[in-house]
Amino acid sequence: MAVERSVLVPLPAVQWGGLQTFAVNLSAGLKRAGWRWTVVVPSGAAEVQRRLRQSGVEVVSAPLLRFRRSPWLTLRTVMGLAGNVRLLANLPEAGHATVIQAVGAHHFHGPLLARKLQKPLVWQVHSSILPPNLRRLVSPIISARANAIMTNGRAVAKAFWRKESLGPNHFVFYAPVDTDKYAPSQETRATARRALNCDHETVMIGTVGNYVWQKNHGFLVEAAGQLSPLYPKVRFLIIGAVHEEYRKRYEETVKRPAAILNQQFPEYIRFLDPGNQVAHWLQALDIFALTSHAEGVPIALFEAMCATKPVVSANVGSISEIIAERQTGFLYEPGDLSTFAARLGTLLESRLSRESMGQAGRRRVLDHFSIQSIVQAHVSAYETAIATYAARR
């Protein structure tokens, strides 16, 4: 029997989101392939720890400083990072790890820990959220430090390195999704829509994403305002959780304009914290909208496609590698409100198009983006990192 090897993954996020779901969906497949994932979660993120453990993911709690949008808080993180890494290095799980994995171009716990412990480093880049000048700054650092680089699609690689392929140490991955969990269910759909007071004729447009700047939910509210006079039977559902650091800004830019629309059209736009029931509430939708400022390929996109929802998405990150234009959905250029609203209108007017695109989307995920293929990309990256690290010593 092959000896199980381990990967230590510092994950500084304090709130449940796509990266945590990524860990849940991937860890079981990696374990079957002989690799054990251990995720380091911030000490204060009790709910994240609980849900990961409940899903069978190995978790270690430790102080993890995070970079913030505030320059002052960022400076505090930079000043405390060295001490933070020393604490991580003393974890038994760090000493036993075969590979250290960094998650995100701006999370430096992984590379600093790998250097301190003298272990191979796999550096994952999940999105193009960093401004172009910061991408140019960190891309050579990643190239110099990483023994293997993984990017969430080819377009994310191009956003950082201006080319889609970085050589034999570069591996493309996408978000792993539980295709059975998100399979369409008429029974679940009916239950969810009843709870939302949504009748059979109403067309529900929705999205999944925490209430943060990146998801750009205000843009969806703007489109809702344009569509409201034209489609009286449309409703909108924004599925996500409050992010305390962004709460005030979100109230001003998203919820306040939505409340104005709701005064004219009751329950026109609803906000729903799904807890661990995203799969349940996603079934209520007829159309999935993705308005993000930046992404790689979010796991919510694959979940929606698995649930046979046609997609209208901003053409950001590597999303164009997933959506087959006019077959599984539509793309629009970021900021193009008229095109976004028009594409939603096209789907609102044709149930047949919604159903055919939704079915095509699920087939595309099943045929081209299986969890096994994503597991294999990770295994190849880990093995390459080990070999590259050994060759450089």
pLDDT tens string 16-45: 988 899 999 999 999 999 999 999 999 889
284 and 195 housed in the same domain: yes
120 and 24 housed in the same domain: yes
Assigned domain for 136 exists: yes
69 and 149 housed in the same domain: yes
Assigned domain for 199 exists: yes
70 and 114 housed in the same domain: yes
56 and 168 housed in the same domain: yes
Other residues' Cβ atoms within 10 Å of the Cβ of residue 288: 27
144 and 263 housed in the same domain: no
Assigned domain for 281 exists: yes
Please answer whether residues 101 and 73 qualify as being in contact, where contact means their C-beta atoms are separated by less than 8 angstroms: no
Assigned domain for 28 exists: yes
Q: What is the pLDDT of residue 1?
A: 38
Assigned domain for 45 exists: yes
118 and 100 housed in the same domain: yes
Assigned domain for 179 exists: no
Q: What is the pLDDT of residue 80?
A: 67
Q: What is the pLDDT of residue 322?
A: 97
Signed CA dihedral, 335, 340, 342, 345: sign only:
negative
| Domain count along the chain | 2
137 and 226 housed in the same domain: no
364 and 374 housed in the same domain: no
Q: Which domain holds residue 102?
A: 5-174+370-392
Q: What is the pLDDT of residue 59?
A: 95
Rounded to two decimals, what is the model's pTM?
0.92
CATH of the domain at 157: 3.40.50.2000
287 and 342 housed in the same domain: yes
Assigned domain for 181 exists: no
Rounded to 5 degrees, what angle do the CA atoms 213, 217, 218 make?
Answer: 95
Q: What is the pLDDT of residue 392?
A: 84
379 and 360 housed in the same domain: no
Give every residue of the chain whose pLDDT is below 50, as ranges: 1
Alpha-carbon gap, residue 209 to 80, rounded angstroms: 30
Q: What is the pLDDT of residue 198?
A: 94
218 and 307 housed in the same domain: yes
